[in-house]
Structure 1
Amino acid sequence: MASCSSNAANDIYRLMFKTAFSQQARSFSSSARSAKSSTNQFVLGASLIAGASGLAYYAVSPKALTDPNEWVSLPLIESKQVNHNTKTLKFALPTEDHVIGLNVASALLTKYQGPNDEKPTIRPYTPISDEDAKGYVELMVKKYPNGPMSTHLCELEADQRILFKGPIEKYKYEANKHSTVGLLAAGTGITPMYQLIRAIMKNPEDKTKIVLVSCNITVEDILLKHEFEKLEQLHPDRFKAFYLLEKAPNDWPGQPGRISKELLKTVLPGPGVKDFKAFVCGPPGFYAAVCANKKSPKDQGDLGGLLAELGYSKDQVFKF
């Protein structure tokens, strides 16, 4: 892609996300009404109490994961092949009323120790199921040739169990804290981005705009594309996704190649937009190229890579 000046990039950005619909003010009025008799007042009061109790009962669901230090065993109930090396795995929660117990943006840990393993293997995953989903939690797992946990998970059969622990909070998201978020992902690094996008879009009070850049090797490697396309159709003025392919076919309508400064300058607001936030997730090489790797799971480290070269500050970038 040809390099763009910062003014041209900002013009493109403004055109891309120009507000399609104006907000309409709504007003509500109410008037007091007196009860006709004490009997009616009693019935109304009893109904309100019963209704409130019912709402409270259904609004609060038990959580499967309540202690970050406690492992919980959950059985596999469904497995689906997504592509040549990726599966979705659905695990049953203790009851049909349970929710997993995660907030946005947070993850969970999985643990497995084989009969010949000296120590257990522990890996983090971000579920693709909604945080409010009852009775199950769903993971998207890419099987790596030398990945002991991903291999074990992808080879699980129905009713076999895995240990889970959490929640592991990554970033405490607040609605409308950022005017725009830029989500830069490679491979299964797309899962925390999906969690964040879903939370933003299902909150009618959250007006945050989203730019997603999903980097993959081939068309078959693009994950959750159908879900993102539906969200783009529903929110064309707030959500835009870009897909990069290293091995793009001749008829590929998107961008070929790897993530670059030129692309980021075109699709993201400039570093002068102080309430902009970029989120990055992917393999170590992707972090190194885009923003520099974290020093540790809890230490974001210094900002480097493409985002630093473009002038963004450390406070404008979060590394999952």
Structure 2
Amino acid sequence: MLISTKFSELLLHSTYWQKAQISELFDAELLKCLKDNWVGLAVTLIVLGTCVFTFVFGKSKPKVGCLDPKKFKEFRLVKRTKLTHNTDRFRFALPTPTSVLGLPVGQHIRCRGKDSEGKEVVRPYTPITLDSDVGYFELVVKWCMALFHMCGTAVSQMYLKGRMSHYFRLMKEGDLLPVLGPLCGILFILEGMIQIPTWSSQSLWYASRRYRHHPYVSAPPPPPRIYRIYQVTRAILENPKDKTKVYLIYANHTVDDILLKDDLDNFAHKYPDSFKVYYVVYEVLRCGPPGMNKAMEAHLNELGYTPEMQFEF
């Protein structure tokens, strides 16, 4: 919108009466320009107002998590899915469809329930979901065995006799789970940086923090700890800025016992340059000429594999 410059020249060489007349002419021309360009002016004002409103009120604020580190809060079970013969996936609803759990990567929660004798029990668990999953969080729980063999060695104590898994095994959709957290572990800040707490002898809380850069993460977790490795791995892979490479060696009794296998295989397919997974089973199949089978049998015996764990065909 342009106003003629002749008014500036007239004002410099005019009397008071003339200036009053010039002012009237200026107002008239200004009104005419506004009338002729009102659409453009309106659009300009709307855009400007929107920008100001967005700058002042539209700044994204970090979402507040639903957890409390000092008291248990209850979350309702809304979905239960069977994964294997002894493992289920539990989905718990958060207060609103846009709520986040508020659990930093590398940390865990504590769940409270009752064992088979009705006694209260509290155990740590790590959700397989991240705060990018809104409205819910998920746990994968494996039913416990009283006795199992690992490379020929009998282990009589497994997950403290499965007292908490007993509670999960009886849960139905609609039941409530008391949860407390987040609790300290490592804090994976991503892009290769891990914050490791240094524990104080005078307190359960860590006194200081150490930071380490780990461009490569090698993870040989036992089956019950796969959830923490899964949580960190997923956070790394879904962050396009994070160039950390993850190598997972995952050992189980049989192929049917491998937890989250479909998810891990999907990671390997989707992120071939950043994630490698190697599955190991305790029961070995041997097939070949007699000389090779005899040599392999000797090597496996030295590694602790009993004859019951080897099958030749």
- Common fold by TM > 0.5: yes
| Residue of structure 2 aligned with 1:162, choices 168, 171, 177 | 177
Determine the structure 2 residue equivalent to 1:239: 275
Q: Which amino acid aligns with 1:139?
A: L
How many angstroms apart in 2 are the aligned matches of 1:55 and 1:184?
45
Q: In 2, distance between residues paired with 1:54 and 1:243?
A: 51
> Where is the helix percentage greater, Structure 1 or Structure 2?
2
CA distance in structure 1 between the aligned counterparts of 2:270 and 2:55, rounded to whole angstroms: 33
| SS of residue paired to 1:147 | helix
| Aligned position for 1:211 | 247
Please state whether the residue corresponding to 1:61 is helix, strand or coil.
coil
Q: Please provide the CA RMSD for this pair.
A: 2.8
Which one of the candidate residues 47, 61, 70 is aligned to 1:44? 47
**Quick check: 1:104–1:173 contact (8 Å CA) kept in 2?**
yes
Aligned to 2:13: none
Q: TM-score, normalised by structure 2?
A: 0.63
Alignment of 1:4-19 (within 5 A): none
Structure 1: tracts of 5 or more residues without a match:
1-35, 261-320
Deviations 1:37-72 (A, max 9, x none): 764443223223455578646x6434210x211110
Question: CA 1:169–1:131 in 2, change beyond 3 Å: closer, same or farther?
Answer: farther
Q: Deviations over 1:249-286 (max 9, x none)?
A: 569xxxx99xx9xxxxxxxxxxxxxxxxxxxxxxxxxx
Residue matched to 2:63: 61
TM-score, with length taken from structure 1 = 0.61
* Pairing 1:106-117 to 2, within 5 Å after superposition: 106-113=107-114, 117=118
Q: Is the 8 A contact 1:62 1:97 kept in 2?
A: no
Please give the alpha-carbon distance, in whole angstroms, between the structure 2 residues aligned to 1:219 and 1:74: 33
C-alpha distance in 2, partners of 1:182/1:115?
A: 37
Rounded Cα–Cα distance in structure 2 between residues aligned with 1:130 and 1:249? 38
Letter in 2 for 1:164: V
Distance apart, 1:130 and its partner CA: 2.3
C-alpha distance in 1 between matches for 2:266 and 2:52: 40
Listed one character per residue, the Cα deviations across residues 103-146 of structure 1 (whole Å, up to 9, x for unaligned) are 1111110012469545x200000001222211111100011143
Does the aligned pair in 2 maintain the 1:103–1:169 contact within 8 Å?
Answer: no
- For 2:93, the equivalent position in structure 1 comes to 92
Matches within 5 A, 1:72-87: 72-87=73-88
Greater Rg by CA: 2
Match of 1:186 among 222, 227, 231: 222
Per-residue CA shift, 1:150-206, capped at 9, x if unaligned? 111122011111100001131111323312011111212110111001110111111
**Is the contact between residue 219 and residue 248 of structure 1 (CA under 8 Å) also seen in structure 2?**
no
In structure 2, distance between residues paired with 1:191 and 1:54: 39
Mean alpha-carbon deviation: is it higher for 242-251 or for 165-174? 242-251
Measured against aligned partners, the alpha-carbon deviations of 1:209-254 in whole angstroms (never above 9, x if no partner) come to: 1111111111011111111112112221221111110014569xxx
Partners of 2:72 and 2:114 in 1: CA distance: 13
Q: Aligned equivalents of 1:116 and 1:178: distance in 2? A: 45
- Higher RCO, 1 vs 2 (CA within 8 Å, ≥6 residues apart): 1
Separation in structure 2 between the aligned mates of residue 186 and residue 115 of structure 1, nearest angstrom: 25
Give the conservation status (yes or no) of the 8 Å contact 1:197–1:210: yes
Aligned residues: 216
Higher strand share: 2
Q: Does 1:223 align with 2:225?
A: no
User: In 2, Cα distance between the equivalents of 1:62 and 1:56?
Assistant: 15
Structure 2 spans left out of the alignment, 5+ residues: 1-38, 146-160, 193-212, 288-295, 301-313
Which secondary structure does the structure 1 equivalent of 2:101 belong to? Answer: coil
